[in-house]
Structure 1
């Protein structure tokens, strides 16, 4: 039965699939579980055909309304060497007037505003409308802790963080090794670092933070962030922090699911025998690394699906705002001669993008070689798939350390792929470790741990689980404000 005056939420997302997909999935939770009316304001880059394609597949018009805000003109606002986060921050800053205009004019009047952490400059508009505002962090609690603590680290530490001899301590949380820091902290003289600090300072202006994690996974980090916790006390921050995850993309319907050829190929493979290789919608690697990866997959003698993107000798996030090629033959030209024909019976090459959540849910997938984007990580874990951690940019190095060293869900190269080319022998060994074979003891240990975390995630999202309860608290707080 539809409510006459449903609570109306506005959710704002910055460009990038790692941002907009979890925002839309969070919106669906409020609709399905709390009967809220939800409108999503999504600023899109307008350069990525893949982004548009996936947005159309994720959105459920009957559940929430999407308003697409075209990217503003950034001419003259960016320098040639400005990086991804700077570009996102400037894009969202310039989009704020359009966001505010919609907030003031939309009917019914919004009951609350939820923004992703790149959209925090819209928070003052919520205060002007006298409605509560929340920040949604699509990443994990350890990342949020580092982000919020960064302004204090800025005051305490002299010189570059990467030159520190000891890990950076965060009250109540694990310390962060200098080499695992987020990209934005690698160069304190860069504009991206200033933008990053600005985000950290604006988040506490909200009425609460929603994090894409859950109590059973990161209870200590969440406790440190909450009022009375060690980090909260250090920051003098009295801000509710809610673990509402895992917020993950749901499998697509049969009408838009895997292509017939891909489904047929997967159905023909033995259970848990295929490693899925993908670096997200923005990750790239050098020609040399791409060559080593191809040889590593071939040497492993394991089945694989590889989502291919043309190599780049520039930044690891070079494809974030670009379209790329959708022809497998064009990208395959960068692979070793004869690779495609030699591996045709055990491997499948997919150009640029694949329906990842459906692939990971197929019974033949046994491992995921991933860039460690948090969305991809959660899609893998919630399907019980162990990972090969291959971090490229953003907070992915933190994610890789969390997955491999703290949670026991992944194997990883001895040296960061962004520091040194990972050679074919090591790649082959990692694939064999996650796909049951010669090193079955290691494989079984990781698989057991992944199953445990998968069960914990499902329990957290159940009606008596911690994440369901946390989102219910947010819903009640919003309704109580009306």
Structure 2
């Protein structure tokens, strides 16, 4: 009698929790539902033995469902120029780890059968050919972003600052929402983005952290639109929403007690993700907007970064400065002490969004945060900062109908306190926000259904 071994999936995650958390959730689904043995390889941005700070998906007393291997640090700084932007730097860094993963795959006792890489790991797909593995790309974002990406090579460096991108069978991408590399075909980011798009076409298929009811038109077009199929003819599988499960104990006693005392859906949660921060002026305007709205809030505050006056940008925080009050308007903490909570640097986001007292989320619209809001039925005030977040905001506002946006782009203009007040009140208390609050509950139901055995994701 021959006893078959488990299929072995190898997952490769780019640096940052925004890419790692969706990979972890995918690993858990592959092990729980399909009996895979999964190894997640993680690329690190700095030397050191520490493993990524993940919140486990099962009680601490249980062994994780997957193996987590941190690849030894590779210093690629010599290959980076001072003008290289974040996408180019990530790609160069990832490129330096190809030989490390090759060695790890070659030393495994069981020959791996499946390789899954994220958007910045597409150059590793050639290793799947060396080891005779099935190969997939996992997009930890939405199908609309995937559609834009695979269509970019057709632009042939002819994109001008003139109008929207037309994607066959899909919602067009308006000028202000286009991903930055597409704007400037002369920089390295554009070349790397085009290469990534072409690499995706060499995979056996693509997994996307979305579901049929959320993006029916785009997913239908990948299957049935003749023009889009000529551009990209590989299967696209919606596997979302993959978000980490709620662990109530992460709230902590003080925050949990405070939330429990607040009325249902009365608290606005404000956070810009693990890599977002605001300018000093925008931080002050946001503080005053929260104050004059007179709505309850939880605000995760990071020290601002000074720059040319734009409202927001990506900035990797080192966590060294927790004296948050010095960056807020004088007397703000005293005046709002009975209204809200100011939390420095980090908060248990999924647990906060899942609490019945939370009724709105002022968010940078990173895709993980967006999904966490949707699965908990929380409407969004969209405040995009970088990457594809403008597209996410547009999708939530114009297509899904669960969000509102400022009249100006926060990355280009300071959003004033009065507009912030109006956005908050619209979501939290105004009659015109009722439809948005009702709609997000519908989407929450669709998200739950997608993960059942009858759903599109299962």
TM-score (norm 1): 0.90
Contact 2:14/2:20, CA 8 A, preserved across alignment = yes
For the residue of structure 2 that corresponds to 1:206, the secondary structure is: coil
- 1:29 corresponds to: 29
- 1:426 corresponds to: 419
State the shift of 1:223 in Å.
2.0
The one of 194, 201, 204 equivalent to 2:201 is 204
Distance 1:253 1:67 in 2: 28
- 1:224 corresponds to: 221
State the shift of 1:323 in Å.
1.4
The one of 182, 189, 193 equivalent to 1:192 is 189
The one of 168, 174, 178 equivalent to 1:177 is 174
State the Cα deviation string for residues 34-67 of structure 1 (Å, max 9, x = none).
11111100112238999933x2545874301100
For the residue of structure 1 that corresponds to 2:276, the secondary structure is: coil
- 1:454 corresponds to: 444
State the shift of 1:225 in Å.
1.9
- 1:7 corresponds to: 7
For the residue of structure 2 that corresponds to 1:215, the secondary structure is: coil
Distance 1:195 1:71 in 2: 22
State the Cα deviation string for residues 290-321 of structure 1 (Å, max 9, x = none).
0000000001000000001111134944433x
The one of 114, 117, 137 equivalent to 1:115 is 117
For the residue of structure 1 that corresponds to 2:166, the secondary structure is: strand
State the shift of 1:232 in Å.
3.1
Task: Map 1:62-461 to 2 at 5 A.
Answer: 62-154=64-156, 158-160=158-160, 163-164=161-162, 166-226=163-223, 228-235=224-231, 237-252=232-247, 254=249, 257-314=250-307, 316-320=312-316, 322-325=317-320, 327=322, 330-435=323-428, 437=429, 439=430, 441-461=431-451
Contact 1:310/1:324, CA 8 A, preserved across alignment = no
For the residue of structure 1 that corresponds to 2:90, the secondary structure is: helix
Q: Which runs of 5+ in 1 are unaligned?
A: 469-482
Contact 1:21/1:58, CA 8 A, preserved across alignment = no
Contact 1:48/1:323, CA 8 A, preserved across alignment = no
Aligned residues: 450
State the shift of 1:70 in Å.
4.0
State the Cα deviation string for residues 345-365 of structure 1 (Å, max 9, x = none).
111111111110011001110
TM-score (norm 2): 0.94
CA RMSD of aligned residues (A): 2.0
Distance 1:75 1:238 in 2: 36
Q: Give the direction of change, closer, same or farther, for the CA distance of 1:351–1:84 in structure 2 (3 Å limit).
A: same
Contact 2:169/2:228, CA 8 A, preserved across alignment = no
Contact 1:50/1:353, CA 8 A, preserved across alignment = no
Distance 1:351 1:183 in 2: 30
Contact 1:208/1:240, CA 8 A, preserved across alignment = yes
Distance 1:407 1:71 in 2: 41
